[in-house]
């Protein structure tokens, strides 16, 4: 039974796109990955508007002070098992905004991150590669999967 669930999960990962205070650069690249040239729907990836429907949270941008509590809430609302992908340098570490007073830092300051995709912004190919690696991990029962199922 678990194999079936895992198979289903890996074949149709629904993602939630969450901007936590970034510059939009990564966001348009995430959306570009969904449109005809890159078309991630061929992997069964579907963009959802509600965290309650999502398996993967794709986070772009550094965490700002005002967004911190809201990000935590969104993470809590996402059903288990959930995976977090940090897209872009800001989401990985705070990036170019590290000297700004209202920026806390990367996404890993508030929630666990499974995949980091660096770049400013990463190309859609890089985003697809990162998510594909995550899917591979979900399907193969990698580290993240074992960690979460305990």
Partner 1 sequence: MDIPVEVNILRDRLGDRLIEYGSIKPRRIYARIERSAVKDAISLLASHGYTHVSAITGLDTGKGLEVLYHLDRTGSLFTVRVDVPYDDPKLPSITDIIPGAVLYEGEVRDLFGVVFEGNPYPRPVVLPDGWPEDFHPLRKIYSVDDIRKTIADRGVGTQQIEVEEGGGAIYVPIGPQHPALKEPIGLRFVVEGEYIVKVKARIGYNHRGIEKAMENQTYIQNLMLAERICGICSVAHTQCYVLAVESALDLDIPERARYIRVVMNELNRIHSHMLWMGVAGHEVGFDTILMYTWRDREYVLDLLEAISGNRVTYSINVIGGVRRDIPDDMRDSVMKTMDYVEVRAKLYMDLLLRDPSFTRRTVGVGKASTRDALTLCAVGPTARAFNVKKDIRKDEPYEVYGDIPFEIVVVDNCDVAGTFIVRAKEILESVDIIRYALEHMPGGDYRVKAPRRVPQIEAIARVEAPRGELLHYLKGSGGEQPYRYKVRTPTLANIPFVAKMLEGCNVADIPIAFAAIDPCMACEDRMEFIDESKGVTWIWSLEDLRAYRKLKEKGSVSKPLEYIDRYGGKLDVS
Contact between 42 and partner 1 per CB under 8 A: no
Which of 122, 135 has the CB closer to partner 1? 122
Return the axis-axis angle of helices 124-140 and 25-34, rounded to nearest 10°.
70
For position 16 contacting partner 1 by CB under 8 A, the verdict is yes
97 binds partner 1 (CB under 8 A): yes
Q: Among 13, 27, 82, 144, which residue interacts with partner 1 (rule: CB under 8 A)? A: 27
Stretch that binds partner 1, among 1-9, 28-36, 128-136, 139-147 (CB under 8 A): 28-36
**In degrees, to the nearest 5, what angle opens at C-alpha 46 toward C-alphas 92 and 120?**
25
Tell me the closest approach of the beta carbon of residue 144 to partner 1, in angstroms. 22
15: helix, strand or coil: strand
Please report, as residue ranges, which positions from 117 to 146 form the binding site for partner 1 (by CB under 8 A). 120-121, 123
Q: Kindly tell me which residue out of 8, 11, 52, 136 binds partner 1, with binding defined by CB under 8 A.
A: 52
Close Cβ partners of 78 (under 8 Å, ≥ 6 residues apart): 16, 51, 52, 54, 55, 57
SS3 140: helix
Instruction: Report the distance separating Cα 139 and Cα 116, nearest Å.
Output: 19
């Amino acid at each position: 039974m678990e194999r079936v669930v895992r198979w289903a999960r890996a074949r149709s990962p629904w993602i939630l796109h969450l901007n936590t205070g970034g510059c939009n650069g990564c966001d348009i690249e995430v959306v570009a990955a969904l449109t005809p040239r890159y078309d991630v729907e061929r992997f069964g990836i579907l963009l959802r508007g509600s965290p309650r429907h999502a398996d993967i949270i794709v986070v772009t941008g550094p965490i700002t002070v005002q967004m911190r509590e809201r990000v935590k809430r969104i993470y809590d609302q996402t059903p288990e098992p959930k995976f977090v992908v940090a897209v872009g340098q800001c989401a990985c570490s705070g990036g170019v905004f590290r000297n700004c007073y209202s920026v806390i830092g990367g996404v890993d300051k508030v929630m666990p991150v499974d995949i980091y995709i660096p770049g400013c912004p990463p190309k859609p190919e890089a985003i697809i590669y990162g998510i594909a690696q995550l899917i591979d991990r979900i399907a193969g029962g990698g580290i993240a999967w074992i960690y979460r199922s305990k």
